Amino acid sequence: MPNDFDLVVGGGSVAGLAFAAEASKRGLSVVVAEEHDRVGEPEKCDGLVSLRGLSYFGHPPRPEVVQNQIASGVIHSPGGKRFAVNATALDVVVLDRSAYDRQLADEATEGGAEVLTGTRVTRVSESNQGVSIEAGGKTLTAKYYVDATGPASSPRRGILPAAKYELEGEWVKEKVVEVFIDSAKYPGFFAWVIPIGSHRAKVGAAGRGVSPFKALDAFLEDRPATVLRRVSAPIFIGGPVGEFVKGRKVLVGEAAGQVKPTTAGGIMTSLSGAVVAAKWFSESIKKRDPDLILNYQREWEARFLKEMRSMKRLRGVFEKLSNSDLEALVRVLATPRLIMKLSQTDFDFHATALLGVLGLPGLLRVAKVVASAEIRSLLVQG
């Protein structure tokens, strides 16, 4: 019996919907099963992203989806020192993530894909002919199952609980993203303020072994605010999984770990995974050559694996730094030359950019100011 579809996609967020848009545009029959009743809801993500990356992969946001254009980024040390980078050349914007997901859903349906909401995938079984998927009380058959269910299918390693509020506060700076590092308050991560307009922001906190809501409430103690929405969500910092393709099941987006291990930003990297995967599915199905699907992982890794490894290396160092190390680090890094160079790099490749701008002399300078020998050797290796 022929299969109902070429592809069934589990998860209707950025990866699943971009995949469906690309695959259907290339003539494949695709259905997306999303567990929630409305695409984009409930919104968890803050939507901070580089326009360059989304445009490169063919899905720039419509103008009405962009909530804000960012002019600078500031890192605050535990003792109150600032490290500010001009971001005007980096094309960084804040998206209304629900609206962006709806845009991608429109693009998918315009290409001919079906998007089924309120439809949870509960079982996937594989045979020689294809896959059989139980979803929302139906059985769907397809040549392949594309798992775009996000952190639900990520390995447990690398997940941190995060708390996020959308709020109004006089202290919010309209065009400035602020990051607050403190190894006692937010071990291994940070608190953040992402403005979406005049005195309005998405503000969050995460850290290993801390209650993110307590950390966020403490952050807001001396920042009076009206909280409009509260969100609890896991963020993923574990890096890409080893195998994207396993038989007739394929992982894309956060399910494949296509998320930056430094900041947990995953919009562009997940979108890119989806677009590259759809291209190779189309080639494979049209040429009846299953091996072509393996080019998905090869192409994605050729572009991102080096950066992901550099980000993991920086994360490894960051997680071990004490507050006095962080103070010293901000002092050493905040030189006009380094700040100027960073303002002209690539937001999506920030680890490669930082390591490149520092070079070995810079890394040695940084290594000198940190206390532990272990961190010093991590910094100057590789």
Ligand X SMILES: Cc1cc2nc3c(=O)[nH]c(=O)nc-3n(C[C@H](O)[C@H](O)[C@H](O)COP(=O)(O)OP(=O)(O)OC[C@H]3O[C@@H](n4cnc5c(N)ncnc54)[C@H](O)[C@@H]3O)c2cc1C
* Shortest distance (Å) from residue 223 CB to ligand X: 19
Among 46, 107, 166, 325, binds ligand X (CB under 6 A): 46
In this chain, which of 6, 96, 107, 254 binds ligand X, going by CB under 6 A? 254
Asked if 11 touches ligand X (CB under 6 A), the answer is yes
Contact 47, 95 (CB under 8 A): yes
- Which of 65, 99, 142, 267 is close enough to bind ligand X by CB under 6 A? 267
Residue 35 engages ligand X in binding (rule: CB under 6 A): yes
The C-alpha atoms of residue 378 and residue 382 are separated, in whole angstroms, by: 8
Taking CB under 6 A as the criterion, which residues in 144-163 touch ligand X?
148-152, 162
Q: What is the CA radius of gyration of the chain?
A: 21
34 binds ligand X, rule: CB under 6 A: yes
Stretch that binds ligand X, among 45-53, 125-133, 179-187, 277-285 (CB under 6 A): 45-53
Angle between helices 373-380 and 350-369 (to 10 degrees): 140
Among 201, 129, 175, 121, residue whose Cα is nearest residue 153: 121
- Structure token pair of residue 241: 């999984």
Which stretch, 32-40, 76-84, 85-93, 343-351, contacts ligand X (CB under 6 A)? 32-40
Of 248-256, 295-303, 314-322, 357-365, which part binds ligand X (CB under 6 A)? 248-256
134 bridge partner residues: 123, 139
Q: How far is the CB of 360 from ligand X (least distance, A)?
A: 30
Total of residues contacting ligand X (CB under 6 A): 38
* Cβ contacts of 53 within 8 Å, gap of 6 or more: 268, 271, 272, 347, 348
Binding mask 176-215 for ligand X (x = CB under 6 A): ----------------------------x-----------
Cβ within 8 Å of residue 66, ≥6 positions away: 93, 94, 95, 96
Q: Is residue 142 part of the contact set for ligand X (CB under 6 A)? A: no
**Cα separation, 201 vs 225, whole angstroms:** 10
- Indicate whether 308 belongs to the interface with ligand X (CB under 6 A): no
74 vs 233 by CB, closer to ligand X? 233
Select from 9, 15, 87, 113 the one that contacts ligand X (CB under 6 A). Answer: 15
Q: Which of 44, 81, 320, 331 binds ligand X (CB under 6 A)?
A: 44
* Site for ligand X, rule CB under 6 A: 10-16, 33-36, 44-49, 120-121, 148-152, 162, 164, 204, 233, 235, 253-255, 259, 264-267, 270
